[in-house]
Structure 1
Amino acid sequence: MNSKRFNECLRVIRWTPINIASALQCDLSWIEALEAGNEEVPEGLATWLEHLAKVHEAAPPPKTFAGHRAKL
């Protein structure tokens, strides 16, 4: 997986670099290196991200819930 696809997968699953670093319990700087193409995306991580992206593409969230507020 190249950095362009890595970033596309994050966009599709709506994760920021902080979100994926938290999910993986890794350093944000490593995620930033993956984003920039300065580190190679490990095969297992690439496979997992591709799977998540495919699931999110197949079942996107509803378009809008405008006007609805969360109850606290």
Structure 2
Amino acid sequence: VDSEVDEKLFPNWQMGFGDLADPVWSFVPGMIDDDEKQGRLELLAQTIPDLAEHLNNVMGKTQGE
């Protein structure tokens, strides 16, 4: 039931939106179905070696300087 109120219950509440295709959302329960979650996990598993190499390169350059 809609009704008017004298004051907000949550005066600091701000609304917004995000890109639901962003992989970060896959960690929020209920945001994607199990099939999509499985696909993202498989993609992550394929990407890990390249990501690890990149991180090692970046960290090595930062630590060596």
Give the TM interval when normalised to the shorter protein. 0.3 to 0.5
Is the radius of gyration larger for structure 1 or structure 2? 2
TM-score under structure 2 length normalisation? 0.34
